[in-house]
Structure 1
């Protein structure tokens, strides 16, 4: 059977080799009906380890976050297998003189780590976001120095490791060093006024 060409919001990734089948993923908006799938990764301590939020303890808190933060967000998508969310990915816009930059963030259920899914999702976003936001020149990602898996994901997609920002943020009561990664739009024309 011939495989159809990938759309920017659909992709395939290998499931860890060993002759296992490829996993087809898609990105779509997350909504309130996705609460049960959302809670699978939102309650997981390992998933939340490097995130700014603590693991959720109740469905009501998850519903509030989806309602108040996720749905109004300018670019937030669920990472899905068979249209079921297994994680999320977002690009947060900057404004004013910084509108040329956006910050990438993503989270994936621990059951799906190491299968190439996060890499494929980040790759899909990189292909989409510079087209959807033509003012965007630079996509950034800040990763905890201990989060080696996430650093590898970004490097596989072509993000450049720019350096370590020492004691850059306070995360769960501790000052953390962060690694700055960036990906630049290949379509940027420095002579274009925004």
Structure 2
């Protein structure tokens, strides 16, 4: 099935529910995510309706126009308005193919154009998630350091690695 050259990003709609369910119900995928694995179609439907659709920048990562993951950018406000936070998730069947890296590069190029006030794109990754750390490094992000005991994840305090990409950084192609 397709390779990373067939990757596109698009808005989600409610017709994507079954594709969304594939990764949202996968414990492997949600392991390092802030959200718990979804258990019902109704809960995913509420999430898409209440969070995804009204979100300022939330896109489906599509392979041949079929959603296989999601990527979002959360803008900061006020004095932190020069920064935004990147988050992404990809179905486990698609890990290790360069798809997430391609999607992250696409978002970085797009977000700095769409939101010219954003000069810094950040990503926070669990120290025990080397796959996601590799994605960001390959996409041109800088590893800035470890934020010790930074957040609670699934009831445990976790160390998080901070990555950043500046609007002035050369993009890795």
2:42 to 60, 65, 70: 60
CA root-mean-square deviation? 1.2
What is the deviation of 1:31? 1.1
- CA distance, structure 2, for counterparts of residue 86 and residue 49 of structure 1: 17
Q: Does 1:162 align with 2:144?
A: yes
Q: Give ranges in structure 1 of 5+ residues lacking alignment.
A: 1-13, 16-21, 188-194
Residue in 2 that maps onto 1:73:
55
Indicate the residue corresponding to 2:6 in structure 1: 24
Q: Deviations over 1:74-113 (max 9, x none)?
A: 0000000121100000000000000000000000000000
2:110 paired with 1:103: no
Work out which of the residue numbers 85, 91, 94 in structure 2 matches 1:112: 94
Match 2:154 to one of 168, 172, 177:
172
Structure 2 unaligned regions, length at least 5:
none
With structure 2 as the length reference, what TM-score do the two structures score?
Answer: 0.95
Partner residue of 1:86? Answer: 68
Measure, in 1, the Cα distance between the counterparts of 2:166 and 2:94.
28
Partner Cα distance (2:40, 2:5) in 1:
30
The higher radius of gyration belongs to: 1
Q: When you count helix as a share of all residues, which structure comes out higher?
A: 2
Counterpart of 1:74 in 2: which secondary structure? Answer: coil
Structure-1 separation of matches of 2:30 and 2:5: 24
